[in-house]
Amino acid sequence: MGEATHTQRIDGYAAAVLDVAKAEGDTSRITDELFRVARSVDGSEELRETLADPAIPVGRKIAIVNDLLDGRASKATIALVNMVVAAGRTRDLLEVANRVASLAAEQESATLAEIRTAFELDDETVTRLTESLERRLGKRIQPKVVIDPSVMGGVVVKVGETIFDGSARSRLDNLREAWG
């Protein structure tokens, strides 16, 4: 399948997801939940392979998604994840979630910032970090927090192609490099 077709497919799913989120009246929550779910699926090889396995019936895959997300995500988010899984596009889920987040940010005239940290950030910390990024970049920022244990401590922020690396891992790597 050609790259244009792949991009069109991702854009099509993203547009459909965003339409549903808007219709539900909770674009921010659904976008955030979808982003977190997609990161979780991408981070678990066993789950990703199970949901992508063509030998496993779609009904079983949907039951797995429902069991995993029940009480952790809205019904709309669960339905959207099930739509992607049922269509046999589990491997595209992360790309779809990233595109949905980007489209939602664009529609709000904001720029998506992926904030990677080893642990959950409270709302006040996310707000302070977002405000700092907005001042530094001179544009509105839509934050998406990703829990990534490899960060070890601190944060890594990606805004477009720009990366701000304030992680402990980066600092340790710099020390190792300086010591030769």
Instruction: Supply φ then ψ for residue 6, to 5 degrees.
Output: -60, -50
- Tell me how long the chain is: 180
Q: What's the token pair of residue 137? A: 């970049």
**Per-domain residue ranges for the chain?**
1-108, 110-180
Distance, CA of 105 to chain centre: 13
Q: Are the beta carbons of 35 and 112 closer than 8 angstroms?
A: no
CATH numeric code, 110-180: 3.40.30
Angle at 84 between CA 79 and CA 88, to 5 degrees: 135
Give CA separation, 97 vs 22, 58, 91, in Å: 15, 21, 11
Would you state the structure tokens that stand for residue 154, as one six-digit string?
């601190």
Which of 2.70.170.10, 1.10.287.130, 1.10.520.20, 1.10.10.60 would CATH assign to domain 1-108? 1.10.520.20
Give tens-digit pLDDT for 80-131.
899 999 999 999 998 999 898 888 888 878 888 999 998 889 999 999 999 9
CA distance 88 to 129: 37
Asked if the model's pLDDT at residue 1 lies above 70, the reply is: no
Question: What digits encode the pLDDT tens for the residues 11-67?
Answer: 888 888 888 888 888 888 888 899 889 988 988 999 999 999 999 999 999 999 999
Residue with tokens 């980007």: 102
- Please tell me the pTM assigned to this model: 0.68
Sign of the torsion formed by the C-alpha atoms of 131, 99, 123 and 41: negative
- Could you give the angle at the alpha carbon of 14 between the alpha carbons of 13 and 15, nearest 5°? 90
DSSP 117: E
